[in-house]
Structures are given as C-alpha cells and as structure tokens.
Amino acid sequence: MKTIGLIGGLTWVSTLDYYRHLNMLVNERLGGDEAAKLLMVSVNFGEIKRRTLALDWAGITEIIGAAAQTLEKAGASCILISANTMHQVAPEIQSMVGIPVLHIAEAIAEAIKEKGLKKVVLLGTKYTMAMESYKAILSNHGIETVVPDTAGIKMVNDAIYEEMAKGLFLPETKEKFIQLILAMQEQGVEGAILGCTEIPQLLQQKDISLPLFDTAYLHAKAAVDFALTTN
C-alpha cells in the first residue's frame, strides 16, 4: 500500500471527513483491521482565508507548496489538497514536487461520466465557481459546468465561509441549497457538484433526488485507488 499525503486544515472540518473516508475506503477494499497509510500536514486556515480574500495566490502557493514538499520528504507517494478552492494553485504545487498531486476535478469528472451526465451545476466558494481550470477539466471529459446567478453565488459563498467553515450546519441553510439546486434543475442541470468539501456535511443525497457529487469522498476514493495499485 502506498502512503497518501494529505494537506489538511482547509478547513479542519472537512479534513475530518477526508481522514474518515480514506480509512473507511481502504478498510472496505482490504477488510479486517486494515486502514490507510497516511501522512498529514495541517495548515492554518485563518492565514489561508486572509490570503484568499486578498487574492494572494502566490502566498497560498508558498504555504501549500511547503506542506507538499514536507509530505514528499516524509515518504508520501501522492498529495491530496483537501479543498476545492485551493486547486487554483494545483499546477504550481505539482511543479514543486516529484509525486502526483491528485486533482479533485479529475476525480469528479470520472464520477459524473459514470452517471452518464452532461450538464452539472458547480457549488462552492466564489473562487471555485469562477475557476476556469476546474471547468476546463470537466469540459475535457465532455461535461458542461454552470454556476448559479450572482445572488446564488453570494449565498453559497457566505454559507461556506461564515457557517460551514466554523462547523455550523443550519437547517435553513440546507433548505436554501435545496431550493437553489431545484431551480438549477429547471434550467437543465442533471447533477450538482458539492464543490466545497464542507457542503456534504450540510446536504446529503437523501435530501434531494438530483444526483449529488461529494467532492471530499470522490477525491479520497481516487487517492485510495492510487494507493492500492501495485505498480
């Protein structure tokens, strides 16, 4: 089994999910008492958030790049950046290490293709929803990605930063997300990407009939697939 390197703290809330998913998936595959081989560097989300609001992507690259290099030196065989938004700097991080940085959008694209869907809505921070490189990866797999209108973008972004990142998952916010997705369904979307790794703690598949794509789970699954390959 290869060792997975996890960059956590983006936020600590979703990092808990990553840890759970990684170990659960390995145990499902191998059985018994088996669990994932993991290394983790957890960064300070407060600093990451301040730099994100300032659009200081160079500063973010420095922080996440240093974490990735630490994991590589410690023996990790791949890197997971445990946040959709931070994949804005994934190409730069990849250039700083010699092991694969597993891109979250690639994992999502594969899951959407398996469902045979062609048009999905992306929900995440305003930075993720504006990320052309993310949408380009999906487009390369034949998937059209749309985002909500300005009011919808603000609602989702505010809920992520002011509630979910602080561990707050409110029933009224869940209802807002459901109504937003239903409105997007009327515009022809066939599924919804939960493109912030905290959203699956607010909204689950049982809450709505439209297919949902849990990015934290699917990203973790891609890492386990990698870790358990023999070559």
* 92 closest CA partner among 52, 61, 136: 61
- What proportion of the chain, given as a percentage, has pLDDT over 90? 91
Q: What is the pLDDT of residue 165?
A: 86
- pLDDT for res 231: 62
Pick the closest to residue 181 from 141, 146, 215 (CA basis). Answer: 146
Q: Where are the alpha helices (DSSP H) in 75-131?
A: 90-96, 104-115, 126-129
Distance separating alpha carbons of residues 164 and 150, to the nearest angstrom: 20
Please, which pLDDT band fits residue 198 given cuts at 50, 70 and 90? confident
- Residue 162's contacts (CB-CB under 8 Å, 6 or more residues apart) are none
Q: Report whether pLDDT(98) > 90.
A: yes
Q: Which two tokens stand for residue 44?
A: 């300070």
- Looking at residue 11, its pLDDT comes to 85
Residue extent(s) of CATH 3.40.50.1860 domains in the chain: 4-103+218-227, 104-215
Mean pLDDT of the chain: 94
Decide if 122 contacts 145 (C-beta within 8 A): yes
Of the candidates 184, 203, 200, 195, the residue with the CA atom closest to the CA atom of residue 119: 184
Over residues 41-70, the mean pLDDT reads: 96
Q: What is the mean pLDDT of residues 182-190?
A: 94
For residue 19, give the nearest of 228, 231, 176, 219 by alpha carbon.
Answer: 219
Using one digit for the tens of pLDDT, what is the confidence trace for 61-95?
Answer: 999 999 999 999 999 999 999 999 999 999 999 99
Distance CA 110, CA 12 (A): 26
Residue 206 pLDDT exceeds 90: yes
Characterize the bridge pairing of strands 191-194 and 119-123.
Answer: parallel
The answer, yes or no, to whether residue 216 has pLDDT greater than 80, is yes
**pTM for the predicted model, two decimal places:** 0.91
Identify the CATH assignment for 4-103+218-227 out of 3.40.50.720, 1.10.3720.10, 3.40.50.1860, 3.40.190.10.
3.40.50.1860
Q: Which CATH class is domain 104-215?
A: alpha beta
Task: Please list the residues that pair with 42 across neighbouring strands.
Answer: 8
- One-letter amino acid at 156 equals V
pLDDT > 90? residue 209: yes
